[in-house]
Amino acid sequence: DLRPPVISLALSPGSGVFMVILVQMTIVGKSFIGGNKEIALMANLTASSRLWQDAAGIPRFSCRNCHMALISVKTSLPSSMLPKVMSKFLDSTLQKVLPGLLCPAVDAVLNLVNAKFTTMTSKIPLGTAGALQYALLNPPMTTETFIELDLKTILHQKEGKEVDLPMDQPSLASLPPKRHGATQLILSANFLSAELSILQASFNLYISNNTILGLPPLVTTMLGALIPEISRVLPPSQPVVIEMREVKAPVVTITPNKSFVQLFSTTEFRVSPSGSAPECLFVLDVHSNLEAQFAIAEEKLRLSLALQSLSRVALASSSLGIFDELPLKRVLADIIHVAYVPSINRVLRGGVPLPNLLGITYQRANISRFEVG
C-alpha cells in the first residue's frame, strides 16, 4: 500500500532540477511464524535530473542519479524478534529492492514531462498562409529561481520555404523584472514582423463602388474633382476599382507606451468601363502607420490595427502623365481606414499561436510592452 508521495523540488543552477520524494508504504505478507504481518516504512528518495537540449531542439529531462535512505521502519512482529529479523530484512531486502522499485518511477515521470516538451515543437498551421514551429535556440539555462528557454521561431510559407529571422537575443538585464512564481514569455518585434510577412499576401484587397459603406462613390467623377488631369482624359461616372497590395514585409515596433505596425503598400486605381477589361490609371506608393493592440484569446496572441497616419503617398506610375497626388491623400486615408484596415483585422483574428510549454494556459496572462535598449 503506497501512499501519495510528498515531492519537493529545487532548481540546481547550471544543471536542472533536484527532487526529494518522501515515500511512505505498508508491506503486508505472510510471516514465517504464521499469520499476516505488516511493515510500515518511510524513506527519502533523492534524485537529480539534467535539463538539456536534444538534436531536434527539444528540452529534455534525464535522471542522473537516484538514492534512497530509510527514515523509519515499523513492524507488527513481536518485539522479541525485532533485532535479528529486522536487521536481516533491511540488509538483504529493503536496501537492495526499493531503489530498483522506486527509481524507475522517477524516469517514468520525467518521460511524461518530456512528452509535453515534444508537443512544443510541433508545427502549428497559420491558416492557409503557412506554419509556425518553436524549438530551442540555445541549451536551457537553470538558475536558483527560474529556468530560461531561449526559443527560436521557425516560420514556413505556404510553399514550405523558411522565412529568415534575425537571431538577436536581448540580454536578461534588458528584460522587465520577473514576477515570483510566474511564467514569463517574451516575444520579439522581429518575430511579430515575420509573422505578419507570412500573412501579408492575405492582406490584398479589391475595392469597388458601393461594396463598402462609408466610402465616397468610387467613380472617375470623384477622381476628376481632385485631379483635373483625370477629368480632361476620362469620361465621367465610370466605375473605379482599387487594388491594395503589400509589397514589403510589415515592420512591428514595440515601445512601453504604444506599439505600431508599418505597412508598405501599392494602391492601384483602375477604370472599369462596362463591357471592357479594367485599365490601370495610376499606382501610388503608400506607407501607413497603424497602432497595434494586443489581446489573448483561445491561447493565441491577437493583434488589431487602427490607422494613425499616412507617412508617404507618392506616384509610382501613371497612364495619365505626371500629376499632384497629394489631393488624393485624404480619400486614400478614408479608404484604408474604412475598408483596408478592417479587412486586415479579419485576417489577424486567427492570432499568433503561443508555445505549448508543459500545458500552461495563457487565458489569464497579463500583457505588458517594453523596449529593449
What fold characterizes domain 2-118? Bactericidal permeability-increasing protein; domain 1 (3.15.10)
**What is the average pLDDT score of the chain?**
86
The string over 74-107, giving b where at least 16 C-beta atoms fall within 10 Å of a residue's C-beta and e elsewhere, is ebebeeeeeeebbeebeeeebeeebeeebbebbe
Write down the pLDDT at residue 63.
92
Write down the pLDDT at residue 32.
67
Write down the pLDDT at residue 80.
60
How far does CA 43 lie from the centroid of its chain?
Answer: 42
CB 365 within 8 A of CB 295: no
Q: Distance between terminal CA atoms of the chain?
A: 58
Residue numbers of the chain with a pLDDT score lower than 50: 373
How far does CA 257 lie from the centroid of its chain?
Answer: 22
Q: Where in the chain is the domain with CATH 3.15.20.10?
A: 187-353
Write down the pLDDT at residue 86.
63
Largest CA distance in the chain: 120
Write down the pLDDT at residue 373.
46
Q: Where in the chain is the domain with CATH 3.15.10.10?
A: 2-118
Write down the pLDDT at residue 83.
60
Backbone angles phi, psi at 362, to 5 degrees: -110, 5
CB 199 within 8 A of CB 348: yes
Write down the pLDDT at residue 168.
61
Assigned superfamily of 187-353 = Bactericidal permeability-increasing protein; domain 2 (3.15.20.10)
